[in-house]
Amino acid sequence: AQTVTQSQPEMSVQEAETVTLSCTYDTSESDYYLFWYKQPPSRQMILVIRQEAYKQQNATENRFSVNFQKAAKSFSLKISDSQLGDAAMYFCAYRRTMTGNQFYFGTGTSLTVIP
């Protein structure tokens, strides 16, 4: 079974600074997708960024970027120039590309942004 581990239950960052959230996963598959979701206090889950395992280039979305290390099964999220609106719970997720359609989520990292 696939597992996703987020070892940092809580993180904090000064406004305008950079923070990195960690995620590791366990799989025997060679092709899959990885995601970072943001959940603000409103509780709605918002997609931040996605990465296809077959792509060597790390995905970026404005201030958000990932460090994807396939051999190490590591998928960290870097938030640059942190803003107060970045404060939220962040979830790492894994999805196989084969049939089953199941997503596997980590337990989340709560990010606090300090003014």
Partner 1 sequence: NAGVTQTPKFQVLKTGQSMTLQCAQDMNHNSMYWYRQDPGMGLRLIYYSASEGTTDKGEVPNGYNVSRLNKREFSLRLESAAPSQTSVYFCASSSILRETQYFGPGTRLLVL
Binding site for partner 1 (CB under 8 A): 9, 33, 35, 37, 42-47, 50, 52, 91, 93, 95, 97, 99-103, 105-108
Question: Which residue, 75 or 91, is less far from partner 1 as judged by CB?
Answer: 91
Question: Which residue, 2 or 80, is less far from partner 1 as judged by CB?
Answer: 2
What six digits make up the tokens of 113?
């942004």
Residue appearing with tokens 């051999």: 71
Least Å distance, CB 95 to partner 1, is 6
Q: Is residue 82 a contact partner of residue 14, using CB atoms and an 8 Å limit?
A: yes
Question: Which residue, 28 or 44, is less far from partner 1 as judged by CB?
Answer: 44
Question: Which residue, 18 or 112, is less far from partner 1 as judged by CB?
Answer: 112
Spell out the residues 6+ positions from residue 110 whose beta carbon is closer than 8 angstroms to its own.
9, 10, 11, 88, 89, 90
Least Å distance, CB 16 to partner 1, is 29
